[in-house]
């Protein structure tokens, strides 16, 4: 009599390796080919950003440190703004910052009541490049 194969036998090692490759490689291949189909990455682009702050007063233009804003920011805002003193990383952060440059300018005006204007510059670019493209917003401070 011949014995029948049982369902508990291990499959060959090559079959396990092939199954693992078929299940794990598609996202990496899609990322390498630039295809969004099968690319399970959370972020499609990662960029770097830098923020420069200044106020204009009677003595001229004066740089303002981002650390000065820290106590006046929410936890989430600090997480986005504080890395921008050097080089922060993230595409979503730069999009949020660009839309909020005027708000940052208003905060500068409140913190420096003698300022006539606040200038906020956002530099952004790809990680691999040293060049940044700059967006600038100037807020005229109300007279007090």
Q: Could you tell me the residue range of the domain that residue 23 belongs to?
A: 12-41
pLDDT digits (tens, 9 = 90+) for 92-132: 778 888 888 999 999 999 999 999 999 999 998 887 778 88
Residues 33 and 81 in one domain: no
CB 87 within 8 A of CB 49: yes
Per-residue pLDDT reduced to its tens digit, 81-94: 888 877 777 777 78
pTM (2 d.p.): 0.66
With H, G, I as helix, E, B as strand and everything else as coil, classify residue 24. helix
Residues 51 and 37 in one domain: no
Across all residues in the chain, what is the average pLDDT? 83
What domain count does the chain have?
2
H-assigned helices in 53-139: 66-69, 75-81, 91-99, 101-111
Are 112 and 64 members of one domain?
A: yes
What residues are paired with 55 via a beta bridge?
A: 62, 118
Q: Is residue 80 located within the same domain as residue 110?
A: yes
Nearest to 72 by CA among 42, 47, 103, 34: 103
> CA 100 to CA 52: how far, in whole Å?
14
Q: How far is CA 99 from the centre of its chain?
A: 14
- Whether residues 33 and 63 share a domain: the answer is no
Residue 29 pLDDT > 70, yes or no? Answer: yes
Residue with tokens 């009599």: 1
| Shared domain check, 79 and 21 | no
């Amino acid at each position: 009599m011949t014995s029948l194969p049982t369902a508990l036998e291990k499959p060959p090692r090559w079959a396990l390796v092939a199954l693992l490759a078929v299940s794990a490689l598609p996202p990496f291949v899609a990322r390498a080919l630039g295809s969004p189909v099968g690319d399970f990455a959370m972020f499609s682009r990662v960029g770097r950003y830098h923020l420069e702050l200044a106020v204009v007063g009677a003595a001229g233009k004066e740089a303002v440190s981002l650390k000065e804003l820290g106590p006046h920011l929410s936890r989430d805002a600090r997480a986005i703004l504080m890395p921008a003193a050097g080089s922060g990383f993230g595409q979503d952060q730069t999009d949020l910052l660009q839309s909020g440059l005027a708000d940052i300018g208003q905060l500068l005006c409140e913190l420096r009541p003698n300022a006539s204007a606040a200038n906020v510059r956002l530099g952004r670019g790809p990680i691999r490049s040293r060049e940044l493209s700059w967006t600038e917003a100037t807020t005229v401070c109300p007279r007090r």
